[in-house]
Amino acid sequence: MKSKAVLLGMVLFAAACKHDDATTATPARCSTDTIGTVSFSRNIVPVFRQNCALSGCHTGSAPAGNLSLDSGVAYAALMKPGSGYINTSTPAASLLYSQLLSTADPMPPTGKLDTCTISLVLKWIQQQAPNN
Partner 1 sequence: MRNILAILIVIAAFSVAGTSCKKNDDNNNTTSVDSGFVYLHLHTNIDTNEADYNTVYTDANGRQISLSKAQLYLSNIRMIKTDGTQYALPNSVIILKDLETEAYFLAKVPTGSYKSIMFNVGLDATTNAKTPTAADSALNHPDMWFGSSAQPDGYVFVDLEGSVDTTAAGNGSTALMQPFTYKIGTNAHLNTVTMPDHTPVYSIAKDESQFVHIIIDYSKLLNGVPLNNSANLSVKTAADNNSAVSNTISNNVPSMFRYEE
Q: Can you give the binding site for partner 1, defined by CB under 8 A?
A: 1-2, 4-6, 8-10, 12-13, 15-17, 19-20, 23, 65-66, 81-85, 92-95, 97-99, 101-105
Helix boundaries (H) for 1-132 = 2-16, 18-23, 45-51, 74-78, 95-101, 115-126
Considering just the CA atoms, what is the radius of gyration of the chain in Å?
Answer: 22
To partner 1, the closest distance from the beta carbon of 6 in angstroms equals 6
To partner 1, the closest distance from the beta carbon of 32 in angstroms equals 21
To partner 1, the closest distance from the beta carbon of 105 in angstroms equals 6
113 C-beta neighbours (distance < 10 Å), count: 19
To partner 1, the closest distance from the beta carbon of 104 in angstroms equals 4
Instruction: Determine contact, residues 89/82, Cβ cutoff 8 Å.
Output: no
Q: Residue 54 or 101: which CB sits closer to partner 1?
A: 101
Instruction: Determine contact, residues 111/22, Cβ cutoff 8 Å.
Output: no
Q: Residue 40 or 85: which CB sits closer to partner 1?
A: 85
